[in-house]
Structure formats: structure tokens, C-alpha cells
Structure 1
Amino acid sequence: MEYNIIIAPDLEGLASEVASFLPQGWRLKGSILEHGEGYAQQLVRNTKDKFRVQQQQQQNRKPTKQRRTRWIE
């Protein structure tokens, strides 16, 4: 189990930082905490979630289609 704490000076900054971690398999744990320097949110991720996200990303990658080009003289 992995834990991560995101700290930001305002709620908008916190939301954008947390949003960048969600596609990587992280989940929210608890509520938003307010402290002297701003706001904080704790995230949790199981190791199996990490590997599942990596497998899904590999499956979603489609081979790029090679385009033919012809030179005009």
C-alpha cells in the first residue's frame, strides 16, 4: 500500500494536483484538511492498482499506422 499527501496553497491548486494523480491508480483517502500553509489531501494506491493501470495503458496503445508519402517532382 502506498500513501501520498498533496499540499497546495488553495483549493483550486489542490484539485488540479490531485486530478493529475487519479489516472495513475491513486484514490482519495479521507477529506481535505486545512492547515497553516493551505490545504492537504491524502491519496492511497495498492500495488496491484499500479500494475493494472500500466497494463491498461499498454492495451490502449494502438500501433501507429505508417503513412505513405509520394514526392511530387
Structure 2
Amino acid sequence: MEYNIIVAPDLEVLATEVAGFIPMGWKLKGGILEHMDGYAQQLVRYPGAVARAQRKPAIIKSRRTKWIE
């Protein structure tokens, strides 16, 4: 099992960074952590997810996100 932590100065940048890891088999773990330098999100990937991501090329779609203010 692999772990990864993404750190960004604001929520919009964090969402963009995390979205790049999802097609590679990463999944969100826990909630968003707020700290002095911005925000962080932990990701986890299991060994089987790596093999599945390499077999099937991910179709990258542009997604629109709606932020709640």
C-alpha cells in the first residue's frame, strides 16, 4: 500500500492536484486538513490499482467543478 500527501496553498489548487492522481489508481483517504501553509489531502493506492491503471489507459475528461461558497 502506498501513501501520498498533496499540499496546496488553497482549495482550488488542491482539487486540481488531487484530480491528476485519481486516474493513476489513487483514492482519497480521510478529509482535507487545514494548516498554516494551506491545505493537505492524503491519498492511498493499493498494489492491484497500479496494475489496473497500467492495463487500461485512463480517458481524461475535462470536468467542471461547482464550488459552494
Report the TM-score when normalising by structure 2.
Answer: 0.81
Which residues of 2 match residues 30-41 of structure 1 at below 5 A? 30-41=30-41
Q: What residue is the counterpart of 2:51 in the other structure?
A: 51
Distance in 2, matches of 1:50 and 1:17, equals: 19
Q: How far did residue 47 of structure 1 move?
A: 1.0
Higher helix share: 1
RMSD over aligned Cα atoms:
1.2
Match of 1:50, as an amino acid? V
The size of the alignment, in residue pairs, is: 58
Identity between Structure 1 and Structure 2 (%): 64
Cα deviation per residue 1:16-60 (whole Å; 9 max; x = unaligned)?
A: 000000000000000000000000000000011011110112xx8
1:18 corresponds to: 18
Greater gyration radius? 1
Query: TM-score, normalised on structure 1?
Result: 0.77
Point out where structure 2 has 5 or more consecutive residues left out of the alignment.
Answer: 60-69
